[in-house]
Amino acid sequence: EIVGTVHITKDITERKKMEEQLIVTDRLASVGELVSGVAHEINNPLTSIVGFSELLLAANAPDAVKEDLKVINKEAQRASGIVRNLLTFARRHKPEKQMVDVNDAMQAVLDLRAYEQKVNNVMAIKYFASDLPKITADGFQLRQVFLNLIINAEYFMIESHGKGTLGIKTEQDR
């Protein structure tokens, strides 16, 4: 004969959220290491392309060839910039406050997203204030915030309209 029962319940919602967050953090760390390795591997041939194109530009060559070399050099430098940005975002980061140019931070993120925006029919229009003072911030974290905002905006534009125009404005709060 059962006289009584005892029921014990425990809310593990927070614990589950923390476990899921830990899994995501581990995955991001793995992706960061992968991106870092790939970026380094890509950077080596790009350095050669930039160097050799500069050497060939200095040599006597027909104008048409020089124009092609300028395009090669410019695009290789652009690719190097993208790799640099990838390395910046992939590295584990210890927060460090410094003087940061908000426009430069935003431009770095836009450069990183340029290809994805083009592929997804998202046009970015910039309205950067030219007289913006530098701010004291962690440049990496600021770029990460900008990146997250831009990715979220792009996602919702693409989901709802299949394309979009992203307006980005910097100004000093007066």
The tens-digit pLDDT sequence of the chain (174 residues) is 777 777 777 777 888 888 888 877 777 677 777 777 787 788 888 888 888 888 888 888 888 989 999 999 888 888 887 887 777 666 666 778 999 999 999 999 998 888 888 888 999 999 999 999 999 998 888 888 898 889 888 888 888 898 999 999 999 887
Residue with tokens 């392309």: 49
Q: Which residues touch 163 (CB under 8 Å, ≥6 apart)? A: 120, 121, 122, 157
**Contact (CB, 8 A) for 124 and 164:** no
Please give the residue range of the domain that contains residue 172: 94-174
Residue 115 falls within a domain, yes or no? yes
Residue 33 falls within a domain, yes or no? yes
Domain count, the chain: 2
Output Rg (C-alpha) for the chain, integer angstroms: 24
Residue 146 falls within a domain, yes or no? yes
pTM for this prediction: 0.52
3-state secondary structure of 69: helix
Pair 64, 34 in one domain? yes
